[in-house]
Amino acid sequence: MIKIHQEEDEGLNAAIYAELRRKLVTGKMAPGHGLSTRGLAQELGVSQTPVRDALSRLAAEGAVEIRSKRRVQVPAMTEERFDDLLRCRLLLEPAAAALALPHLDAERVARLRDIDAALDAAVARQDADAYMENNHAFHFTLYRAQPGNTLTRLIETLWLQFGPFMRVVAGRVNMSPQNDHHQAAIRAAEARDEKALTAAISADIAEGMGLIARTGLASSNGNGNGVAD
């Protein structure tokens, strides 16, 4: 019986952690936003214990800051942190795309095309939430094609840190890209062209992060007081 309860607790903790990660990478929590364990627990329909456990794990990944038992918040973005995240993305994500290329079968490429169409529709109606969801889905459908898990997990950690900031910016600017690098990535995948694929992903990251940087770091950070209970 003890083992059964332990397995149930572990499953619940994993589910809460996964849901909070999803909220962060898709920007449902803003930079500087104070997080309430009680509020999150009520929203998710669970006790505060698995929420606290999930927040502790996220703090270890740099996604939230736990300043005290009652002070938890999504970190504000700084220029130094932004530049560091950009460098790491440009190192890891093109490499993940290259490793994924041999595993991109017709079904997965079709999935990428469907996601990109949904992303284009979100851009057309200036739906920032749908844009964030589909942009994340596109990149990780691609990266998860490669069989190793470690590289994808490292990339996810980066997205945890810039996702909240990206969402704030996406809600304030015209999201239409100058060039459709996702389409270029799909064409490269179909042609089995590793160089073109990595170039498309690099350009997508550089252009997207550049747009974020041009909006101004200070004006895009929240003003949350970080009080949680």
d(CA 182, CA 184): 5
* Mean pLDDT of the region 147-161: 93
Domain ranges in the chain with CATH number 1.10.10.10 = 2-76
| H or E stretch covering 67 | strand 65-68
Amino acid at residue number 156:
E
The tokens describing 53, both together, are 């456990």
Contacts of residue 30, Cβ cutoff 8 Å, sequence gap at least 6: 74, 164, 167, 168, 222, 224
Per-residue model confidence (pLDDT) at position 177: 56
Q: What is the CATH number of domain 2-76?
A: 1.10.10.10
d(CA 6, CA 9): 5
Q: Tell me the average pLDDT of the chain.
A: 84
More reliable by pLDDT, 142 or 75? 142
Give me the sign of the Cα torsion angle 112, 114, 119, 120. positive
Domain ranges in the chain with CATH number 1.20.120.530 = 79-217
CATH T-level fold of 79-217 = Four Helix Bundle (Hemerythrin (Met), subunit A) (1.20.120)
Q: Which residue shows structure tokens 């996220």?
A: 58
3-state helix, strand, coil in the chain (%, to 5): 70, 5, 25
What is the pTM (predicted TM-score) of this model?
Answer: 0.82
Q: Burial, 95: exposed, middle or buried (Cβ in 10 Å; 0-12, 13-18, 19+)?
A: middle
Beta-bridge mates of residue 227: 71
More reliable by pLDDT, 168 or 111? 111
| H or E stretch covering 71 | strand 71-73
